[in-house]
Structure 1
Amino acid sequence: MSRCDSEKLAPQHKSAFFSFIKSLATFKGDLASLTAPPFLLSPQSIIEFSAYWAEQPCLFVAPSKEEDPEKRALLVLKWFLSTLRQQHNNKDENGKKKRMKPLNPFLGELFLGKWVDDCGTTNLVAEQVSHHPPITACNIWNDTHGVRLQGHVAPKAYFSTTVHIDRKGYSVLHLDKYDEDYLITMPKIHIEGIMTGSLCPELSGATYIRSSSGYTAKIDYSSKGWLSGKKNSFVATLFHDDKQNEPLYTAEGQWSGDFCMKKVATGEVVESFNVDSVPRTPLTVTPVEHQHPLESRRAWQNVADAIHRNDIFAVGHEKTKIENEQREMRKIEKVEGREFPRRYFTKAKQDLVAKSLTEGMKRHASMQGEMEGHHGVWMWDEQKYRRVENNRAQGIKSPMRTRFDSGIGGILLDPDLVESV
């Protein structure tokens, strides 16, 4: 029996799937550049994954309502754990198997939306700030409760007995009321069941959530073994930085289902939690026909439609069209000696908040690696955002050049993107 509790490949897809796996095993470099078989492709771009951070806004803003810094840190841990299921599980909320390979975002791709519920309005802006290497930056904020999350992630996929995905980058959660920051790193992913066609992702390694208030959570991930254990398992400890060997709380269970949090000193179960116990608030997105040409669902609409129709020829044709347009745009920029302007984010030399949260930590080497390397640091630019919003409020529309069929190339004349280089 497979360790992955998932559906197997349809018989008609097996030959193409194993040919694809063979190509993975001999490929050198980042697997993102490989084209997956159409039946594995998701109609969703990776940039939309940013939305998983705040699908349950009440959990996202809950730390802002807690006066005790120790309990705030525990609430941040609970919120983070609650975000993992939808992001990494191989089935959706209806129990239907997800397609495993999301679309690779193009440079400048946008995903905008908001959640409106009893917690007020929670806004999301995500932007693909780099294509080589791929880097997605996002900003999520709720002004009612003074909570915001800013970060960027740079995934790199490679093959070693199976597909592995390392994710450099980090996010910082800020609580206005307490002027408090939490630095968050992301777990590694590997795909299990790849040799049987029963695909499911698993998390591995350790990640941290470190607070400026002096508390740190460490989460260790493990998967089901051949003889024992459960899939999607984790054990987390919350401790004060002055006493790292004396955990205050533990959280243990499955990030895809149930877990419980205990107070170590007394053994008391503080809370037993199931990720489905809190309803997800639907994300509101502008109708496709009214979206900016760079917005993900409009840009990939023809590809997504072809995937839904299982039209492998149309999928290839539409994807190639966008990819060729992007290559042409990069050539033009190179000839003209300019760089594609980012709409909402700006590359910075360093992030002083994130840097300060790694300093002095005995285990800081485990987090410092997320701060360095090729991925760079991308910061939310409030001035850029305000300029775009002011133009929208004044009814200023971006003139679009019809250089390319998809309209993506039209951003060359977008006044919102004009800036000094």
Structure 2
Amino acid sequence: MSATEEAKKVEAESPTVDPENAENKEDNSSEDDTDNKVVLSDEPKSIIMGIIAQLRKGADLHRVTLPTFVLEPRSMTERITDFLRHPDILIKTMIIGIFPLILLIVKYFLSGWHIMPKGVKKPYNPVLGEIFRCRFKHPDGSEAFYICEQTSHHPPMSSFFYSVPQHGIKINGELKPKAKFLGNSAATIMQGTHSVYLTKFDETYLIPMPNVYARGILIGTMFMEYGDTVTIKCPKNDLSASIEFKTKGFFGGGYNNISGKIYKGKEVLYQLSGKWSSVMYIRKPKDKEKTPFIDIRNEELTPLIVEPNNKQEEFEARRLWEEVTAGLTKKGLDYATEKKTAIEDNQRLLVKKRADEGIEWKPRFFVPSDDGIHTYISPLDK
């Protein structure tokens, strides 16, 4: 299929909005090591303590109703776009053809972690069938299209697709977060993976996600950090990358640190170090000096172009959660809690109605594939 044909297919299910009139709600990036820390006052702290008192270590938090004040005013279906806000990195790969390609894939992967809310905030849990759609316009005139659908609620799974047809970039993925209580911390185990397919080179890179930890929920200052070792692989060649998101030690260490290695087979080609919130460095094993790999503070965010809420479908994320967001940002937490409860109650009614009528719910935009990742299908294919 040509790039033009694919563009038409994807655009058929993507909003067509003038960027100047789009409702772009940007998030602030975290440049300082302590930007995402917050100290809770006594009342919200006591609410969290009351919830935790009913849990045991290792308990699954997915079915626990969290207080509204911990919510970030956007859905997980939208938050996934944070990893796609620096598309110029991938576009350079296709135009210039820098080799080995895995260098640019690693740079793309490391570019999306600095976008986070202040303190410990959790995006809305998407309802079954919820979607989020947006477009991106790039300086070279090319466009990207993104769609995410909540393809499962128990357990939660968000399936997403991103495409830059003019440059032959396709990303299919799914996120399956599983939250656990760990004592003074809560962990979101980020199961699932996404594939980056570069049509020009016929190469696919498989990329999992690191885990997310909320620290200090019982004692101390609350903050979020990433922790895990992520392995990026390309099945077609012998190249891989191992990236460690380092958690801060109890008695020492810093925040937001990463280290990593890029391999050809078992041979180490490059070593990585630095902070995902600012500057990361690269060097060859025999080199004494390291050079800047990416300074995320100098990278511009590509804005989302999103259909205005009043033109969205009923289960599009911003329209669905509009009143909850209004409560969090303007009308107060009681209002947000009331509207959030109404959405959840309506979902229970819909589940019961389908069960009573013997209707099996199926995703609208995604189907399971052989590699285990739900694949996007345009309605034009049906």
TM-score under structure 2 length normalisation: 0.84
Of residues 238, 252, 259 in structure 2, which corresponds to 1:235? 259
Aligned to 2:133: 112
Q: In structure 2, how many angstroms separate the alpha carbons of the residues matched to 1:147 and 1:377?
A: 17
Residue pair 1:29, 1:158 contacting (<8 A) in 2 also? yes
Q: In structure 1, how many angstroms separate the alpha carbons of the residues matched to 2:120 and 2:229?
A: 26
Aligned to 2:313: 292
Q: In structure 1, how many angstroms separate the alpha carbons of the residues matched to 2:197 and 2:58?
A: 39
Q: In structure 1, how many angstroms separate the alpha carbons of the residues matched to 2:40 and 2:206?
A: 39
Aligned to 1:202: 225
In the TM superposition, what whole-angstrom CA distance separates every residue of 1:225-268 from its partner, at most 9, and x where no partner exists? 23332111111100012xx1x21011111112221111223345
Paired residues, number: 346
In the TM superposition, what whole-angstrom CA distance separates every residue of 1:261-286 from its partner, at most 9, and x where no partner exists? 11223345343422111110111100
Residue pair 1:150, 1:172 contacting (<8 A) in 2 also? yes
User: Per-residue deviation at 1:68?
Assistant: 4.8
1:183 aligns with 2:206: yes
Instruction: Provide closer, same or farther for how the CA distance between residues 339 and 104 of structure 1 changes in structure 2, counting only shifts above 3 A.
Output: same
Following superposition of structure 1 onto structure 2, how do residues 117-196 of structure 1 map, counting pairs within 5 Å?
Answer: 117-119=138-140, 120-161=142-183, 162-196=185-219
User: Per-residue deviation at 1:4?
Assistant: 5.9
RCO higher in structure (CA 8 A, sep ≥6): 2
Aligned to 2:27: none
User: Per-residue deviation at 1:12?
Assistant: 4.1
Q: Which runs of 4+ in 1 moved over 4 A?
A: none
Q: In structure 2, how many angstroms separate the alpha carbons of the residues matched to 1:310 and 1:33?
A: 26
1:9 aligns with 2:40: yes
User: Per-residue deviation at 1:113?
Assistant: 0.4
Following superposition of structure 1 onto structure 2, how do residues 36-55 of structure 1 map, counting pairs within 5 Å?
Answer: 36-55=66-85
Instruction: Provide closer, same or farther for how the CA distance between residues 197 and 316 of structure 1 changes in structure 2, counting only shifts above 3 A.
Output: farther
C-alpha RMSD of matched pairs (Å)? 2.1
User: Per-residue deviation at 1:347?
Assistant: 2.3
Residue pair 1:63, 1:73 contacting (<8 A) in 2 also? no
Aligned to 2:60: 30
SS at match of 1:84: coil
Instruction: Provide closer, same or farther for how the CA distance between residues 347 and 123 of structure 1 changes in structure 2, counting only shifts above 3 A.
Output: same
- Residue 381 of structure 1 aligns with an amino acid whose one-letter code is I
Residue pair 1:32, 1:104 contacting (<8 A) in 2 also? no
Q: In structure 1, how many angstroms separate the alpha carbons of the residues matched to 2:62 and 2:77?
A: 14
User: Per-residue deviation at 1:11?
Assistant: 4.2
User: Per-residue deviation at 1:115?
Assistant: 1.1
Q: In structure 1, how many angstroms separate the alpha carbons of the residues matched to 2:42 and 2:59?
A: 30
Q: In structure 1, how many angstroms separate the alpha carbons of the residues matched to 2:98 and 2:133?
A: 33
Aligned to 2:24: none
Following superposition of structure 1 onto structure 2, how do residues 17-416 of structure 1 map, counting pairs within 5 Å?
Answer: 17-23=48-54, 25-26=55-56, 29-70=59-100, 72-86=101-115, 89=116, 91=117, 97-98=118-119, 100-119=121-140, 120-161=142-183, 162-196=185-219, 198-211=221-234, 212-241=236-265, 244=266, 246-309=267-330, 311-348=332-369, 350-351=370-371, 377-382=373-378, 384=379, 386=380
Residue pair 2:113, 2:277 contacting (<8 A) in 1 also? yes
Q: In structure 1, how many angstroms separate the alpha carbons of the residues matched to 2:126 and 2:220?
A: 26
Quick check: which one's helix share is greater? 1
- Residue 347 of structure 1 aligns with an amino acid whose one-letter code is P
User: Per-residue deviation at 1:290?
Assistant: 0.4
Residue pair 2:172, 2:373 contacting (<8 A) in 1 also? no
5+ residue gaps, structure 1: 92-96, 352-375, 388-418
User: Per-residue deviation at 1:28?
Assistant: 7.0
Q: In structure 2, how many angstroms separate the alpha carbons of the residues matched to 1:122 and 1:264?
A: 37
Q: In structure 2, how many angstroms separate the alpha carbons of the residues matched to 1:346 and 1:272?
A: 37
User: Per-residue deviation at 1:31?
Assistant: 0.9
* Farther-moved stretch of structure 1 (7-16 vs 176-185): 7-16
Residue pair 1:36, 1:101 contacting (<8 A) in 2 also? no
In the TM superposition, what whole-angstrom CA distance separates every residue of 1:272-318 from its partner, at most 9, and x where no partner exists? 42211111011110000001111000011111111223533322221
Q: In structure 2, how many angstroms separate the alpha carbons of the residues matched to 1:10 and 1:100?
A: 15
Aligned to 1:412: none
- Residue 226 of structure 1 aligns with an amino acid whose one-letter code is F
User: Per-residue deviation at 1:197?
Assistant: 5.5
* Farther-moved stretch of structure 1 (300-309 vs 163-172): 300-309
SS at match of 2:150: strand
- Residue 167 of structure 1 aligns with an amino acid whose one-letter code is M
* Farther-moved stretch of structure 1 (206-215 vs 282-291): 206-215
